[in-house]
Amino acid sequence: MEAAVVDAGSKLLKAGPAIPDQAPSMIIPNQMKRMLDDGSINDNSSSEDTIVDPVVRGLIRDWDAMEDLLHHVLYTGLGWEMGNEGQILFTDPLCTPKAVREQLVQLMFETFNISGFYASEQAVLSLYAVGRISGCTVDIGHGKIDIAPVIEGAVQHIASRRFEIGGMDLTKLLAEELGKSNPLVNIKMSDIEKIKEQYSCCAEDELAYEKTKNACQTEQHTLPDGQVITIGREKYTVGEALFQPSILGLEAHGIVEQLVRCISTVSSDNHRQLLENTVLCGGTASMTGFEERFQKEAGLCSSAVRPALIKPPEYMPENLSMYSAWVGGAILAKVVFPQNQHVTKADYDETGPSVVHRKCF
């Protein structure tokens, strides 16, 4: 039985057997609904009361919900059998606290009775997915942005940066912008999320974005309840916020400048190797026009060495940026488990949860 690979993001969980040249067999929403004891959902309570997010801004926050979600994924989705559990590799977000890593390994051995465990950082895995061991990842997820330089398979934590903004903040921004242009329509956040995925894009450059203030083609969009809204400049504002965070009310540099500043704190000997092997990943990075705008901004940046994006190999699955950490995890699982580099049940029984820091790095 192939080892299972699990990448639990803030919005989507990606899971499947470790087959690197295939997309994960399960890509499911993380969000869950709290059930009553009789198995029904309380329709009288507000939606906020019934909705549960196991993962918030990249980190596991609700362990009971996470256990339920993993139970569904492993036994129903991947077909594991009770009493015959296999090996599992998890992807670790940047800046994962030690306590979270320990609680995860404890959950897997004591509740799921797995036979082997490994965890590796998402930045390293995303580089593996494009055939690199050194480079820099710019991971724009639903709940956070991680910028991480990696040298010879090791994340340079001192130079890494985590920003508590992501796709969810862009969804809120789009809701505000559409509320201004469509004041008489009440749009659900779930519909806003779909509109963002369908329409949002990046202007060619800052000048092109400024021009949308004066003239921008509009489109009509019919909501599920039949109401019709107009979408125009708002679709560009979502993407622009990544390059001009002031749109979100933040005093911060745009994403390309943030990348260059991160790299500048690493030894200058490594600048070229890191910047010329930049990988974009995360769902938000697949926005229409984002890659082109990133490249254009990179050509204008103040750095002596300009960031250059790595294209994934042709044999890799389409939309690799959406789940590159999962693919890298599948590649790594093919090495660590056959070569017995993982945490075994015996290791765990002997040392306890802290073994994860010694064996998974």
Query: At 141, which CATH number?
Result: 3.30.420.40
Asked whether the predicted pLDDT for residue 136 surpasses 60, the reply is yes
Residues 269, 232 share a domain: no
Residue at 344 is within a domain = yes
Residues 264, 161 share a domain: yes
Number of domains in the chain: 3
**What local confidence, expressed as pLDDT, does residue 214 receive?**
84
Residues 140, 214 share a domain: no
Residue at 314 is within a domain = no
Residue at 231 is within a domain = yes
**What local confidence, expressed as pLDDT, does residue 41 receive?**
59
Residues 95, 60 share a domain: yes
Residues 329, 201 share a domain: no
Residues 80, 20 share a domain: yes
Q: What would the mean pLDDT of 79-87 be, rounded to a whole number?
A: 94
- Residue 179: domain span: 167-248
Residues 192, 292 share a domain: no
Residue at 48 is within a domain = no
Residues 187, 157 share a domain: no
- Residue 117 phi/psi, 5-degree rounding, is -135, 145
Reported as a single tens digit per residue, the pLDDT across 14-64 is 999 999 989 999 999 998 887 766 666 555 555 556 889 999 999 999 999
Residue at 44 is within a domain = no
Q: In the listed set 218, 248, 278, which residue is the last one of a domain according to the structure? A: 248
